[in-house]
Each structure stands twice: as C-alpha cells, then as structure tokens.
Amino acid sequence: MKYSWLAGWLFILVLSACVRGETIGKQKPVTPTSSSEQTTKDVLPTNNALEHPLKDPTGTPEITSATPISEENPCREEWGSVQQFTLQIFRTEDKIRGRIYTPPCYGMDPDQVYPTLYLFHGATSADQQWDDLGVDERADQLISQGEISPLIIIMPEEKSWISFPENPFGDYIVKDLIPWVDKNYQTLADRKYRAIGGLSRGGNWAVRIGFLHWGLFGSVGAHSTPLFIGDLERIPGWFEVIPESKIPRIYLDIGVDDNDRDDAEAFGSLLSELGIAYSWNLSPGLHEKSYWQSHLDEYLIWYSTGWGVE
C-alpha cells in the first residue's frame, strides 16, 4: 500500500499526456468579428528543411501526402498549415524570420502553382500578427467556399524600427526573401500573381516596396496606412517611371475614427490627382485588432480578384 499514492500520480500524468497529444496542432475556423476574442491556435514548429540559406538551397520543403490528388481522389483537406521559417542573409549577419501559410493539399500535386501574398505586420508587433488575426483560417474558409483561389501567404518579421536609409528590411524582402520563396515553394513567379500588403507600419512598407519595385507586384494593399514620413511627396516621382500598363492595383482602407485617417485620405487624394485608379474603403472602426480582423475576408477577396485564377 505504501506505493499506491505513487501509482495514482503516474496514472494521472499518463492520462494528461494523452489528452495533450490529441489536441496539439489542431486548427479551428475563426470567424472575424469586431468584438470576439481571437482563438489561440498552435503554430507548427520550425521545419528544418526551411532553414537553409538562399545561397545554397537544398531543395523544396519536404512534402508528404498520404493520399495523392487524382480525379477519383480529390483533395480532402479542410485546413492549410502555417510554418515558421528563418532565412540567413549572406551579405550580412542578419536573418529574416517569419511565417508561411500554405493552402489545403499543398504539395499533393507537384505541378500545381499558387499566387503569393506578402503581408507585413504593424509597429510594436511581429510576424504572428496576421496569424493571430486569423488570416489563415479565413483563407481556408474562403478557399473551401470557392470565394478565392488557393494561395501562399508570407508573413515576415521586421525586427528593427530604425529609419531609412539604415533600415534594410525592404532590400531583404526584394533581394532575398522573394527569390527564396519562389525557389522553394510552388509559386506563380510572376508580378500579376504576387501581391503585397500590410497594416499600419506594414502598409507603409507595402506601399514603398510595391511602388519602387513595381516589376515584382501586381497588387498593393495599404490597410490603416499613414505612410512613412516624406513618402507622400515621393510618390509622384515613383509613378513617373512606372509604365501605365504596369501600374499595380491599389487598395486603401481605414477606420472612420482611426487617428491616421487624415494621412490615408491625403494618400488617396494624391492618387486621384495623379489619375491613378485605386479602391477605397472607409468603415467604422479604430486603429486596432477588431477593425482589421473584421475586414480579413474583403482583403483576401480583393487580392485574389487581381489574379483572375480559380
């Protein structure tokens, strides 16, 4: 009898481990609302196959499938996945970290390629922001409903808030991250099928990178975006060198009570003066999570519309 208490504790520990093993990694759909709390979900651990440098890539990330796609056996997956990545920048000691969403059944057909969407987070946040908003769950749902085409979403982290020209984040995206993604993932590596967007400071980056590197992006989304200091005055010069046929699709939106509303409206007014077409959405809301979360569907649908693919 003197060991009965020990046996009891061992039984409880084993039972607890079994329960945890059943729940880790499960994903649940999240319907964005302006008032509900975001459901927390596990992110898949970093895949070592993704952590090879751009200079010497070892091939595409490992793809496993228990049931390959065929006419008799279509995709049966309901949810995509989110993986973390780390990319070494060889010309410096820096690294880019972030998350990549791949859609349901990604990799089952090695010939299928996907549009890409680069989404940047806001100031004081990190690469988990769009994931926490539920962009992957909303993408899964919209794909399953046929509202958008399957896509790959890349969510890099800006680890420094230093100003230009010392901040290398934009160069890392253009020179390192995009080529690495296109080499190691099944992407449609064409500007029409590559979009860039962000919220708050991330939108500042999306505008700056998207306009300066118009040959890489067919769509630019700026959500609650005030622009970097001085960029409003630079935009006319940027557009002078963009061929009319290569002007990207542009989407601007902001909350009615957002403190950056005046800046966003000035941005839209400038585009109008330049004769540049853009989509504009002014909706109730503040510069906060509930606003962005409630607009995830329209963001994803807008980006997907530019690709014109099913």
In a domain, 158, yes or no: yes
User: Has residue 87 been placed in a domain?
Assistant: yes
Number of domains the chain contains: 1
What pLDDT is stored for residue 63 in this prediction?
30
User: What confidence score (pLDDT) does residue 60 get?
Assistant: 33
What CATH number should be reported for the domain holding residue 210? Answer: 3.40.50.1820
pLDDT (0 to 100) of residue 197:
98
DSSP sequence for the chain: -TTHHHHHHHHHHHHHHHHHHHHTT--------SSSPPPP-PPBPPPGGG-S-SSS---SPP---SS---SSS-------EEEEEEEE-TTSS-EEEEEEEE-TTTTSSTT--B-EEEEE--TT--THHHHHHTHHHHHHHHHHTTSS---EEEEE-------TTT--HHHHIIIIIHHHHHHHS-B--SGGGEEEEEETHHHHHHHHHHHHTTTT-SEEEEES----TTHHHHHHHHHHTS-GGGPPEEEEEEETT-TTHHHHHHHHHHHHHTT---EEEEES--SSHHHHHHTHHHHHHHHHHTT---
For β-strands 249-255 and 219-223, DSSP reports them as parallel
pLDDT score at 153: 98
259, part of any domain: yes
6 is a domain residue: no
Within a domain: 239:
yes
pLDDT of residue 4: 47
Question: Does residue 21 lie in a domain region?
Answer: no
* Residue 256 domain flag: yes
Rounded mean pLDDT for each run of 10 residues along the chain, 310 residues in total: 44 37 35 33 29 30 33 74 94 92 95 97 93 97 95 93 79 96 96 98 97 98 96 97 96 98 98 97 97 98 85
Domain of 152 in residue numbering reads as 41-58+77-305
In a domain, 151, yes or no: yes
